[in-house]
Amino acid sequence: MIKHIVCWKLKEEAHGNDKATNMKLIKEKLENLQGKIEGLIKIEAGINLPDYPANYDVVLYSELESKEALDYYQSHPLHQEILPFIREAVSSRVAVDYEA
């Protein structure tokens, strides 16, 4: 199993929305992928608690069957479809992929 974790800091404004709106939209778009991409076992997105503004704003936690499933997920049209929205809203990103 591969675990794929990504954290994003968002811009204060993007797509005509404030940061809070974009955080919710990113969470919804990511979690909407559940059950739609072969090899994607679990996908969960979380929004940082407002009491900790130094933290990243949004986190993605996902579990995939294999490295091949991760590659498939990353190139899948449904995943590719949401990337422009995320990239436009994000000011920084960190990620880790590891075998569990």
Between CA 94 and CA 74 the distance in angstroms is 16
Residues comprising the chain, all counted: 100
∠56-65-26 over CA atoms, to 5°?
30
Q: Looking at the DSSP assignment, which residues form a beta bridge with residue 1? A: none
State the Cα–Cα distance between residues 87 and 82, nearest whole angstrom.
Answer: 9
Paired with 64 in beta bridges are: 2, 40
The pTM of this model reads 0.95
Domains, the chain, ranges and CATH?
Answer: 2-99 (3.30.70.100)
| Bridge partners for 97 per DSSP | 4
In a structure prediction context, what are the per-residue pLDDT tens digits for the chain, which is 100 residues long? 999 999 999 999 999 999 999 999 999 999 999 999 999 999 999 999 999 999 999 999 999 999 999 999 999 999 999 999 999 999 999 999 999 9
- The total of other beta-carbon atoms located within 10 Å of residue 50's CB is 7
